[in-house]
């Protein structure tokens, strides 16, 4: 650890992503774990964050006081739940720090609150922090721009582990938005998120979704472009959560010297 290290707080420290973030911070030069947060009453309060994450003892105990932690930190890495992320964004704005948000399943109302917080915080938010998925979104946009809607149907298929609580995944929605951008259509009105029963024939130009859940799948996504007699499939398979954690740490580092605002991983990766 050096004096210039970026001091990061991990919220949701005991979660699948929280633990992965702690391990990745420990393995990354230029950043240091300043604090680890779980909700009040959690059985993990007082435990050593490194031990919790399987990274050995690091001398940072898990606490339930985010504001206290944020005031003396430079960034917060947040993969928790929508209501928690909204609260953390307000606190990050008070502390004028970087807030990297990976939480998915957020509502339009939540997004408006993030926009408000981004007047003071530097928010980087994405449904997927990996380089591979963000590249995939660029390719999906290019493909839908090149292939006419009349002959090419777009379907997005995703599979995740059995514990995931939101659907379609944040990544599937991100890919759908990229495909809609390529087509020049309104994603909100042209997406078909669920099909059941006698649905009628597929409306031309829509973007369809299919959600699979099971086992320990980290995250698989495919963008299928279905034409007459041919199929183009663009896909990504996440094998390890560290791809998301490394992206989140890179995002915090990137945002360190930026103005308050709302940024995406495409901005961080120079793909926007």
Ligand X SMILES: O=C(O)C1=N[C@H](C(=O)O)C[C@H](O)C1
Ligand Y SMILES: NC(=O)C1=CN([C@@H]2O[C@H](COP(=O)(O)OP(=O)(O)OC[C@H]3O[C@@H](n4cnc5c(N)ncnc54)[C@H](OP(=O)(O)O)[C@@H]3O)[C@@H](O)[C@H]2O)C=CC1
Closest approach, Cβ 17 to ligand X, in A, equals 7
Report 147-186 residues binding ligand Y (CB under 6 A): 170
Nearest to 23 by CA among 251, 252, 240: 240
Does residue 189 have a known ligand-binding role?
Answer: no
Which of the ranges 55-63, 75-83, 146-154, 201-209 carries the binding residues for ligand Y, by CB under 6 A? 75-83
Q: Residues 126, 127, 130, 134: is their CA dihedral positive or negative?
A: negative
Using the rule CB under 6 A, is 132 a contact of ligand Y?
no
Closest approach, Cβ 129 to ligand X, in A, equals 8
Figure out which of the listed residues 34, 122, 125, 160 binds ligand X, where binding follows CB under 6 A. Answer: 160
Q: Is 160 a catalytic residue?
A: yes
Q: Is 164 a catalytic residue?
A: yes
Does residue 16 have a known ligand-binding role?
Answer: yes
> CB within 8 A of 196, min separation 6: which ones?
none
Of 164, 221, 236, 262, which residue is the catalytic one?
A: 164
Using the rule CB under 6 A, is 100 a contact of ligand Y?
no
Nearest to 101 by CA among 81, 79, 82, 84: 79
Closest approach, Cβ 12 to ligand Y, in A, equals 3
What letter would DSSP give residue 182?
Answer: H
Helix (H, G, I), strand (E, B) or coil at 28: coil
Pattern 12-41, binding to ligand Y, x per CB under 6 A? x-xxxxx------------------xxx--
What letter would DSSP give residue 178?
Answer: H
Could you give the count of Cα atoms lying within 13 Å of 55 in the half-sphere of its Cβ?
22
Nearest to 263 by CA among 152, 121, 162: 121
Which amino acids are annotated catalytic? 160, 164
Interaction site with ligand X (CB under 6 A): 104, 127-128, 160, 164, 169-171, 219, 238
């Amino acid at each position: 650890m050096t004096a210039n290290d970026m001091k990061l707080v991990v919220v949701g420290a005991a979660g699948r992503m929280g633990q992965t973030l702690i391990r990745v911070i420990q393995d990354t030069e230029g950043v240091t774990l300043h604090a680890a947060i779980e909700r009040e009453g959690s059985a993990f309060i007082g435990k050593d964050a490194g031990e919790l994450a399987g990274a050995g003892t690091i001398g940072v105990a898990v606490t339930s006081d985010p504001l206290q932690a944020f005031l003396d930190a430079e960034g917060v890495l947040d993969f928790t739940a929508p209501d928690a992320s909204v609260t953390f964004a307000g606190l990050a704005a008070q502390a004028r720090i970087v807030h990297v948000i990976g939480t998915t399943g957020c509502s339009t109302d939540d997004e408006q609150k993030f926009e408000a917080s981004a007047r003071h915080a530097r928010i980087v938010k994405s449904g997927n922090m990996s380089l591979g998925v963000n590249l995939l979104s660029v390719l999906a946009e290019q493909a839908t721009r090149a292939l006419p809607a009349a002959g090419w149907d777009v379907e997005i298929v995703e599979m995740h582990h059995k514990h995931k609580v939101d659907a379609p995944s944040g990544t599937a929605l991100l890919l759908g938005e990229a495909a809609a951008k390529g087509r020049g259509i309104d994603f909100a009105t042209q997406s078909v998120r669920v099909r059941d029963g006698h649905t009628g024939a597929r409306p031309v130009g829509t973007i369809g979704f299919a959600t699979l859940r099971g086992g320990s799948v980290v995250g698989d996504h495919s963008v299928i472009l279905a034409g007459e007699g041919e199929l183009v499939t663009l896909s990504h398979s996440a094998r390890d959560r560290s791809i998301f954690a490394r992206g989140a740490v890179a995002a915090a580092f990137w945002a360190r010297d930026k103005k308050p605002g709302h940024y995406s991983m495409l901005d961080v990766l120079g793909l926007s």
